[in-house]
Amino acid sequence: NMSAPPSLNLLGEILLISTLIYYSKLFMFIMFFLVFFSAVYSMFLYSYTQHGKVYSGMYSFNQINMREYLLLFLHWVPLNLMILKLDIFIWI
């Protein structure tokens, strides 16, 4: 996956890729192609399953209400806070 928005998954992928590159410089070229084609394939699958065809513009954003944006935001922010700033949730 593309590990977006930034979360624990993105951190894990960055650490894994940097470790493999440190292990062998040959992995740098291999990982570049793997990451690139993985991102392209993920975008293609998302576009095809959510829009029914390859990306055809921004027409689908007109149908989204403010309620959906708020719901997405209220799930995304606490998740990233729990991962990136864990001391907020620790009460001693």
Q: Residues, the chain, total?
A: 92
Can you give the pLDDT at residue 34?
82
Q: Please check whether residue 1 lies inside any domain of the structure.
A: no
51 within a domain of the structure (yes/no):
yes
**Which residues of the chain are modeled with pLDDT < 70?**
1-7, 52-64, 88-89, 91-92
- Determine the pLDDT at residue 87: 74
Query: What's the token pair of residue 48?
Result: 């095809």
Q: How far apart are alpha carbons 73 and 89 in whole angstroms?
A: 19
Q: Is residue 58 part of a domain?
A: yes
Q: What is the per-residue pLDDT for 89?
A: 65
What pLDDT, on a 0 to 100 scale, did the predictor assign at position 16? 82
| Domain presence at residue 2 | no
The reported pTM is 0.46
Is residue 3 domain-resident? no
* Residue 43 placed within a domain: yes
Counting the structural domains of the chain, the total is 1
What's the domain range around 50? 8-89
Q: Report yes or no on 67 lying in a domain.
A: yes
